[in-house]
Structure 1
């Protein structure tokens, strides 16, 4: 074969599933902060208050460590990192079910703004504020909305940029100072930035299953918005934000599963029956060994999705669909095993196991259910769904 007959493009490099030294250093910093500021007792106490999220923890995480700007380019005041680093942060947040708006603000909202044109004046200013941790932003879509399945906008935009409509079940809506609102204009779809405190905007709180990720219903009644993008660009920005959010949500689900497995192993090694640790009983050892294998596989799937997003791989939609189809059920199973193998104490409010079960169940529905992602995967690889 001559040089002229060789393929014009080389095959994509193999994904890197290992953690770099920089990623491990970031993990150590985030884990240390969460161990000090987001212990289970602290999280439980916060759930019984009326605070939307832990503002002190968020300030330390977003500003002191600088995680809020990981995905923001350096020229806009961010860290210029990638989805791989953001995935490490989400693993640790999953391990502690920390009540902070990292996924919704620092990942989904930031990605939407970047795809609207980060260099434009309309997007650059909010990106700089998000990177500095001065602002929390959310994409005004229902939490279960999956990438590639964005419905027609529930909000209508008039020619003068005033918005009217209602969006339900928006994660972290009560925490947000800035709302990124998909809307339908007379000439097609658009994306607007709206101040949450603006006239004509109302946020009604809802009672979610997972109290560490509160939901809100947004009502727009003549609210003024700043136009960020229109047409295909607006649609692509929203879909890219949801794809990135779903891919990195797998890392949060991995963190949930890892904590549940580690806590279950610790508890069964300490609790005794008939003079022996219950963890030495063969039936329980088999259950925990099977769970360990599932968690190890979930780690590979989550890392593959993060690496594909970080490198801009054309396989990113496939990697995200695989990660969500696999990691979501693993997190739920790990949390269920944690509750069951703790016995009676696992059913109490005082033990944090229920926090992880609720986060796992909530995450299972967030950004598309496992079944929705399996259907998407079938289409992406050319298999007819049953």
Structure 2
């Protein structure tokens, strides 16, 4: 990792630490002070060009900020806000003031009249909708190849946000639009697959950061906790279990790094790298969570302990922007439908095995 990325991680780490973040699960209140500090510092708006009111930066910077915040167990609408802002900037749909979130609205009814666009329908399980001020919605596809995006004020009387939460208590709400007026509409040749790819990458990074936090906490706990006159970490069976967890976490990190590099470089096989990362990471969540709780014992299940926030978040996130099964089918279609040689998928295309995990 270069010094620029290290500096970003260090700065975010200091901002989060100074915000006195909460711990434990279920979440009783989200970390609004940490979120305010991230927004004021500009880190929450990375990925949006500076000339559009953002903080600039590359996709690697966005991944680093997400990873650092999640590893500390901070509960904020960071990923959704970043995705909403990035998509609005990509399509020319103006970002509104405050915190944003994002939803796929391909089943909505769209009424266009006198230059206005009004939306009706239901959006299920929208992350952070109850805490957000505005919503970026990907509209149903039209006859053109352009992706249309609308922004809606979530405080509008025609918008009903129905409170809900995921398994750790973070907001996950249904949103009902009753002829809601879109503040503005943007469009671009950015495909829905491209949006899905970025969302999958950020959530893969988030799950990987949570997995690393689980491994670190488990190593610390088994070193501090003694049984039969010696630390748990001195027992061979425990050492083997920790080694398995550590190897799994490293595989997740390597997959996310490779996907980030591929997306940042605009490589033709970026979709393969992102799909591989999402399959690897989502598929490893259960093993990391099970191992962490097994080695922590009863204390890991208490509401005060931070372990449950990380393991619960991983479980909640594993299907966001596509499950591991869906992304596995994407990989299969690249091989079968696009007539790609399987060896080229697992190599660098020259016959030599690539360092990129596929």
What TM-score does the superposition give when structure 2 sets the normalisation length? 0.86
**Which of residues 170, 175, 183 is equivalent to 1:218?**
175
Q: Which residue of 2 aligns with 1:20?
A: 2
Aligned residue runs from structure 1 range 1-386, under 5 A: 19-39=1-21, 42-44=22-24, 47-49=27-29, 53-64=30-41, 66-106=42-82, 108-117=83-92, 123=93, 125-126=94-95, 134-141=97-104, 153-160=106-113, 161-184=117-140, 190-212=148-170, 214-229=171-186, 233=188, 236-382=190-336
Structure-2 change in CA distance of 1:333 and 1:34 (3 Å): farther
Structure-2 change in CA distance of 1:45 and 1:274 (3 Å): closer
Q: CA deviation at 1:237?
A: 4.8
**1:193-222 C-alpha deviation (Å, 9 max, x unpaired):** 11111231110011321313x111111111
Aligned-partner SS, 2:125: strand
Structure-2 change in CA distance of 1:38 and 1:61 (3 Å): same
Paired residue total: 333
Q: CA deviation at 1:381?
A: 3.1
Q: CA deviation at 1:164?
A: 0.9
What TM-score does the superposition give when structure 1 sets the normalisation length? 0.80
Q: Separation in 2 of the partners of 1:45 and 1:270?
A: 22
**1:43-99 C-alpha deviation (Å, 9 max, x unpaired):** 4499224xxx432211111222x2122111122233321110111111112212311
**1:120-170 C-alpha deviation (Å, 9 max, x unpaired):** xxx3x41xx6xxxx52112223xxxxxxxxxx7221111221211111101
> Structure 1 stretches of 5 or more lacking a match?
1-18, 118-122, 142-151
Q: CA deviation at 1:294?
A: 1.4
Q: CA deviation at 1:247?
A: 0.9
Structure-2 change in CA distance of 1:260 and 1:216 (3 Å): same
Q: CA deviation at 1:257?
A: 0.9
Q: Separation in 2 of the partners of 1:101 and 1:319?
A: 26
Q: CA deviation at 1:241?
A: 2.3
Counterpart contact for 1:156–1:163, Cα < 8 Å? yes
Counterpart contact for 2:149–2:186, Cα < 8 Å? yes
Q: Separation in 1 of the partners of 2:320 and 2:248?
A: 21
Q: CA deviation at 1:191?
A: 2.4
Counterpart contact for 1:328–1:364, Cα < 8 Å? yes
Q: Separation in 2 of the partners of 1:225 and 1:319?
A: 35
Task: Please identify runs of 4+ aligned residues in structure 1 that moved more than 4 A.
Answer: 185-189
Q: Separation in 1 of the partners of 2:11 and 2:135?
A: 30
Counterpart contact for 1:111–1:237, Cα < 8 Å? no
